[in-house]
Amino acid sequence: MEPGPGPQQMKVHYIIAEGKERLVRDVLISGMHETRMRLVKPLVTLKTGDPLSWRQMGNMQQGLYNLGVFDKVDMAIQNPEGETYQKYVLYHLEEGHRYSVAVGGGGEFARIGGGQTSLDNPAGQAGFAPRASFEVSRLNFLGLGHSINFRSRYSTLDRRASINYYAPRYRNVEGRNISFTALYDDARDVRTFTARRLEGSVQLSQQLSKPTSMLFRYTYRDVRVDQGTLKIEPLLIPLLSQPARIGMISTSLIQDRRDDPADAHRGVFNTIDVGLAQSVFASRHNFVRFLGRNSWYHLLKKNYVLASNTSFGWLGPFKLAGGADPTQAIPLPERFFGGGSTSHRGFPDNQAGPRDPLTGFPLGGNALLFHSTELRFPLLSDNMQGVLFHDMGNIYSGPGKISFRFHQKSLTDFDYMVHAVGFGVRYRTPVGPIRIDLAYSINPPSFMGLKGSYTDLLFGTAQRVQQSVKSFQFFFSIGQAF
């Protein structure tokens, strides 16, 4: 060390004496009982005769953890201070539990009632939906890191059960996974009808980079609408209650740069999903489906977050030679439904968009456009957060009908943009923030509906009255709106 060229500066000289090179004699792995070597072997990148490298050893350790089947991965060099220039590299693995079970419960409080057994309240009424869930997983199946997962959920709005087989590192390619899923769903969250769905799908995913993944999948589903719950013009029931058998290929691009997916403060989240349903894929209906979403989060200052979310969707029916009329190509359960706590809080759940001209119940649409802006800020305590929000958008009868028009032209016009403002409270918990939102719709739609029972509808004795979506909406749930 000697004085440098300037004041308070010193020149520092390093003299490096190279030691004797240390090489890998072999890599020894212990602790595996159920796991097969064929799962671990592709991650063993150090070979006999390679230079000994702590960095490469650490990468191997991280890769073994990423398999998701080991609770602990210890690594060491045998006799590191010894004179032998060839060293054994040791890994001791501790396998995780092969079974996991989860039981959960919760509920939702909003305008989710009304309309199940009567024609009253087509825009919903205050209701509470308790919810219970059960999940059991078999991990590291066959010792290959595969998993089998059974999930079920039961509530007054949705009854669902699914089985998923998941195989990571398909053909030993990092970030490439394949899964097979079977699903049963009995959905009652759209007040217009009850639908039972049987679905099977196969999906291949590939991670393109740390934040970006691409999905490719084929889905076949059989959806049947219960005619006894379909609350629309009786002459349309035979048409709209037909089973919807859909065979679709689709691809999705997902980019997630959020700092915390459960409660983001900065970053972006983008998704694009494109699907094609056609007879060559065993579909009885031909249409193209597009759905895109962009969310961004900006930290203004400590704990003040400006967040925005935009969603756009489009359904495009088309006619093949000798095919059916494309205007009838989109079955009722396949249409876009929206409104509610995660899309537009100026509406009750799935109450946005076109409505049946006789009963006033929602019919869904072939296009959607929603935009939400939130300002999130501290409130009262470290675990509590306040939110000011503005939601705008609607479900539209078609992409050509999308309009930013503020006013409703008539009682049969629903292709205009509805605006809502509101205030919310979030309380942080280990499972995510508990959310309460109060919204005021500035220009809610009005429509013609009926008063009476379902029997009155069939016999034409129901009373026809003008109704509207309530200006005030409220939601109680778990998790941020986006």
**pLDDT by residue (tens digit) across 40-69?**
988 898 889 888 888 999 999 998 998 889
Residue type, 289: R
Please give the angle made by the CA atoms of 374, 379 and 382, to the nearest 5 degrees.
Answer: 110
- Structural domain tally of the chain? 2
pLDDT at 100 over 60: yes
How far is 392 from 422, CA to CA, in rounded Å? 12
Both 258 and 211 in one domain: the answer is yes
Q: What is the mean pLDDT of the chain?
A: 88
The runs of H, that is alpha helices, within 137-187 are none
Its sign, for the CA torsion 315, 470, 228, 235, is: negative
Question: Residue range 265-269: average pLDDT?
Answer: 94
Alpha carbon distance, N-terminus to C-terminus of the chain: 58
Q: Map tokens 């076109």 to a residue.
A: 354
Both 116 and 88 in one domain: the answer is no
Q: How many CB atoms lie within 10 A of CB 195?
A: 22
pLDDT at 326 over 60: no
How far is 178 from 304, CA to CA, in rounded Å? 40
Q: How many CB atoms lie within 10 A of CB 18?
A: 5
Both 28 and 121 in one domain: the answer is no
How far is 270 from 294, CA to CA, in rounded Å? 5
Both 128 and 178 in one domain: the answer is yes
How far is 135 from 133, CA to CA, in rounded Å? 7
- pLDDT of 358: 84
Both 220 and 71 in one domain: the answer is no
Number of Cα atoms under 13 Å in the Cβ half of residue 350: 21
- Residue 188: left if φ>0, alpha if ψ -120 to 50, beta else—which one? alpha
Question: Residue range 226-245: average pLDDT?
Answer: 73
Q: How many helices (H) and strands (E) does the chain have?
A: 4, 23
Which residues on adjacent β-strands are paired with residue 299?
Answer: 305
Residue type, 241: S
- φ/ψ of residue 456, rounded to 5: -60, -35
pLDDT at 124 over 60: yes
- pLDDT of 165: 97
- pLDDT of 174: 83
Where does a domain end: 33, 60, 95?
95
Classify residue 416: in a domain, yes or no.
yes
Where does a domain end: 79, 95, 111?
95
- 363-394 pLDDT, tens digit per residue, is 899 999 999 999 999 998 888 999 999 999 99
- φ/ψ of residue 333, rounded to 5: -70, -15
Classify residue 417: in a domain, yes or no.
yes
Both 361 and 376 in one domain: the answer is yes
How far is 481 from 473, CA to CA, in rounded Å? 15
Burial of 413 (0-12, 13-18, 19+ CB in 10 A): middle
Residue 342 vs residues 4, 138, 217: alpha-carbon distances, Å:
63, 32, 25
- 415-426 pLDDT, tens digit per residue, is 999 999 999 999
- pLDDT of 9: 83
- Residue 171: left if φ>0, alpha if ψ -120 to 50, beta else—which one? left
Both 193 and 147 in one domain: the answer is yes
pLDDT at 108 over 80: no
Both 326 and 375 in one domain: the answer is yes
- 190-205 pLDDT, tens digit per residue, is 777 888 999 999 999 9
Both 394 and 247 in one domain: the answer is yes
How far is 177 from 183, CA to CA, in rounded Å? 19
pLDDT confidence band for 324 (50 / 70 / 90): very low
Residue type, 343: S
**CATH number assigned to the domain comprising residue 185:** 2.40.160.50
Name the residue with higher pLDDT: 241 or 224: 224
pLDDT confidence band for 402 (50 / 70 / 90): very high
Classify residue 436: in a domain, yes or no.
yes
Q: 183-187, 289-293, 316-320: which has the minimum mean pLDDT?
A: 316-320
Classify residue 180: in a domain, yes or no.
yes
How far is 150 from 189, CA to CA, in rounded Å? 23
pLDDT at 310 over 70: yes
pLDDT at 327 over 60: no
Of 52, 101, 107, 114, nearest in space to 77 by CA: 52
- Structural domain that includes position 56: 17-95
Question: Residue range 180-194: average pLDDT?
Answer: 86
Tokens of 153: 């959920």
**CATH number assigned to the domain comprising residue 43:** 3.10.20.310
Query: What are the b/e assignments for 28-65, b being 16+ CB within 10 Å?
Result: ebeebeebeeebbeebeebeeeeebeeeebeebbebbe
Both 76 and 119 in one domain: the answer is no
